[in-house]
Chains A and B, each alone.
Chain A
């Protein structure tokens, strides 16, 4: 991979910092009228999730990281690895628990997800913003309670537990916002 100089940094650029691939979350050009130019960058380490700030001088550069985001289909989990397929090439990728992390609770077979590849290995899995999942277990629904509010826990087919309104029944399919882990509506 090549090098990129600080003047060319842009939000979303992936670079190697101290051996790890990092995403530039925010890039700001800092230049006192009479002083030197700096590039102040908010970075996210894609391996550890750590977010921090680093400032580069105008003649500094960074090595670009071979990181790309690809849309893939979730196939199955064998208990140890999660398997995904690139729909156009049928190429399969296996992601470990560290890469899948919290996303595992939203993964339904056949769903589209975004896989972040570093040197062709999955390092992160991002679920769609909304998923539709079936309720496998919850207390029986309370009729006539729709306007009252109030909520109860429900277990979904993937094992995720979310708060749902009291009127929801087992077997119903719900729309969930994966960013907040909250119930949105019946699907």
Chain B
């Protein structure tokens, strides 16, 4: 800790923009009859995604008593789905989310996530609403929608569902050296996406039909070419990933399988293994409405609004000063 670094990392003028953006988001959802919720930050279970690491804290009933490990939520997703299963109806949350190890120009280990769920919405309807919300905040812009396949075809000239690892490596070679080996095709797709495509997506671009292997908690469906794809979409703008949405998976046994599969990936990669959120499976067993949900990085949206290049410029105290 450096006692000379007491000042905020954001300008007060930016914090005024932040305050009015928070108000605008609340007004947007109030008008549409979506209820604000604020679920817990501490949970007995952790996120299962192999590449999201949770921060943990120790709880004890009194100083010196036995400690119990809790996990800071990496997103309010599981808790909000448990509310949906309890018939909450449409809900949104401006949540603090925590991710271990994520620090950089576009990442702060603690950040603000705007997450919302819409019963009876299709992924397409939710994309419309994402566009409405972002437009309400940033004003009108040129929007586009492309499938993951067509996005790759346009920017790098190949079909990501058919491409081999070797072809993906060859795309990267002129731009960036990768001397590691990895037989997971998604690693190479993610590299092409993050290194060659994402930086070029300045105007809002909604990308849908991700590879089924990147489904996370989205339903998997067949696309018009008979390829299995995830009913998942992402919004890119300002050269960064801004939001991630799903047609939510509702099948409890499939959900249980994915938790186990992710846990298996963690084990095989030597990543820390955490308690799985089995209550989510129980919630799905009791039944949740067909719904679509999306999580949007509130701080990054503000970065675009104020033209910031580093996330710490839009957070009162960035990580090195918190």
Identify the A interface with B (CB < 8 A): 7, 28-38, 40, 52-58, 60
Answer yes or no: B258 CB below 8 A from chain A CBs: no
The answer to whether B190 touches A35, judged by C-beta atoms less than 8 angstroms apart, is yes
The answer to whether A29 touches B105, judged by C-beta atoms less than 8 angstroms apart, is yes
Q: For the complex, what is the distance from the CA of A58 to the CA of B191, rounded to whole Å?
A: 13
The answer to whether B107 touches A31, judged by C-beta atoms less than 8 angstroms apart, is yes
Q: For the complex, what is the distance from the CA of A35 to the CA of B51, rounded to whole Å?
A: 6
The answer to whether B102 touches A29, judged by C-beta atoms less than 8 angstroms apart, is yes
B residues near A57, Cβ cutoff 8 Å: 180, 182, 187
Identify the B interface with A (CB < 8 A): 49, 51-52, 101-107, 175-180, 182, 186-187, 190-191, 193-195, 214, 216, 234, 241, 244
B residues near A33, Cβ cutoff 8 Å: 234, 241, 244
A-B contact pairs, 7 of them (CB 8 A): A32-B190, A35-B187, A36-B187, A37-B51, A37-B101, A37-B102, A40-B176
A141 nearest CB across to chain B (Å): 48
A residues near B179, Cβ cutoff 8 Å: 54
- Chain B residue at minimum C-beta to C-beta distance from A57: B180
Given contacts A32-B241, A33-B244, A57-B182, A40 and B195 within 8 Å (CB-CB): yes
Q: For the complex, what is the distance from the CA of A37 to the CA of B180, rounded to whole Å?
A: 14
The answer to whether B178 touches A36, judged by C-beta atoms less than 8 angstroms apart, is no
B40 nearest CB across to chain A (Å): 21
- Chain B residue at minimum C-beta to C-beta distance from A54: B177
A residues near B52, Cβ cutoff 8 Å: 34
B54 nearest CB across to chain A (Å): 14
Q: For the complex, what is the distance from the CA of A146 to the CA of B180, rounded to whole Å?
A: 61
- Chain B residue at minimum C-beta to C-beta distance from A29: B104
A128 nearest CB across to chain B (Å): 29
Q: For the complex, what is the distance from the CA of A53 to the CA of B180, rounded to whole Å?
A: 14
The answer to whether B176 touches A54, judged by C-beta atoms less than 8 angstroms apart, is yes
- Chain B residue at minimum C-beta to C-beta distance from A43: B177
A26 nearest CB across to chain B (Å): 10
- Chain A residue at minimum C-beta to C-beta distance from B244: A33
- Chain A residue at minimum C-beta to C-beta distance from B234: A33
The answer to whether A56 touches B180, judged by C-beta atoms less than 8 angstroms apart, is yes
The answer to whether B195 touches A55, judged by C-beta atoms less than 8 angstroms apart, is yes
A residues near B182, Cβ cutoff 8 Å: 57
The answer to whether A54 touches B105, judged by C-beta atoms less than 8 angstroms apart, is no
The answer to whether A35 touches B194, judged by C-beta atoms less than 8 angstroms apart, is yes
The answer to whether A32 touches B193, judged by C-beta atoms less than 8 angstroms apart, is yes
Q: For the complex, what is the distance from the CA of A35 to the CA of B184, rounded to whole Å?
A: 11
The answer to whether B102 touches A30, judged by C-beta atoms less than 8 angstroms apart, is no
B residues near A37, Cβ cutoff 8 Å: 51, 101-102
The answer to whether B194 touches A30, judged by C-beta atoms less than 8 angstroms apart, is yes
A38 nearest CB across to chain B (Å): 7
Partner of B177, one of A34, A53, A60: A53
Q: For the complex, what is the distance from the CA of A55 to the CA of B101, rounded to whole Å?
A: 17
The answer to whether B180 touches A36, judged by C-beta atoms less than 8 angstroms apart, is no
Q: For the complex, what is the distance from the CA of A169 to the CA of B176, rounded to whole Å?
A: 51
The answer to whether B105 touches A28, judged by C-beta atoms less than 8 angstroms apart, is yes
- Chain B residue at minimum C-beta to C-beta distance from A58: B101
The answer to whether A34 touches B214, judged by C-beta atoms less than 8 angstroms apart, is yes
Which of A28, A32, A37, A57 has its CB near the most chain B CB atoms (within 10 A)?
A: A32
A residues near B187, Cβ cutoff 8 Å: 35-36, 57
B191 nearest CB across to chain A (Å): 7
The answer to whether A32 touches B105, judged by C-beta atoms less than 8 angstroms apart, is no
